[in-house]
Amino acid sequence: MCIPQEKYPNKTELQNISSNYTLFYRIFQFIGLLLIFSVFFWIINYRGGFSLTKAKLIPNWHPIFMTFVLIYLFANAILHYRSFRDTKLNLKNQHAILFGSMIIILAVAGITTLDSKRFRPLFTNPAIPNLYTLHSWLGIIAIAMLLIQFACGFWIYLYPTVAVRYRKILLPYHVFFGILSFVLAIVSGGLGFCEKMIFSLYREYEQFPAEGIIGNCIGLLCIFYGILVVYMVTKPEFKRCHIPEYQPLI
């Protein structure tokens, strides 16, 4: 829902909207970076850190990559149109580049967790099988939807021969499924942190160890971050409108 052309906000109202969005955007960036730092802190201090050669530590790349890409970068890509002012073509290109970069990093993140035959038997006996938990299923669905969104969006909004009327018709669905993909990513992330605590701590998890509390807090932070992003992307006042004056939101 956008402000009708005959009811464009005056300069004072635009400044208030801009100020409110700037505040939310700063909070959004702070929480996103805090989430990434928290995952990094947890892995460094409780999971042994990262490595490209030590088999036991290679899967530790998965949560940090997924948090950075499927949550933080995804959120920034969703809010890109609302956060910056540029020509429509430039914004489309930047939006596509963000998603293209996400797909490349996601491929690396997937490799670090799926190669169980090579890595997992070295530190779990028997090896934990792949793709049987709800976390895995939701993650796969979210990634599949992201890939479909990227392919469809690239064809519909960047391919020059597609008629404008079709772009307008499909835009609400593109937005809806983009938000839905992000929500699935958030839910999958929250389940993933819980799953990691259960697999790593097992019975000790019941005793409220420090790592378990940190893991729960990371999960809550992830969910709160998702709620904030959905609020910002669905709030009508924050929607990018074609207004007479050039007025960036931040």
Residue 196 pLDDT: 92
Question: Residue 154's pLDDT band (boundaries 50, 70, 90)?
Answer: confident
Mean pLDDT highest for which of 6-10, 57-61, 62-66, 244-248? 62-66
pLDDT at 219 over 80: yes
Residue 145 pLDDT: 95
pTM of the model: 0.85
pLDDT at 90 over 70: yes
Q: How far is CA 128 from CA 55, 78, 196, in A?
A: 15, 34, 12
Token look-up 């801009």 returns: 18
Specify the amino acid at residue 142. A
Q: What is the pLDDT of residues 65-83, one digit of tens each?
A: 999 999 999 999 999 988 8
Among 190, 192, 195, 183, CA closest to 222? 190
Q: What is the pLDDT of residues 226-235, one digit of tens each?
A: 999 999 999 9
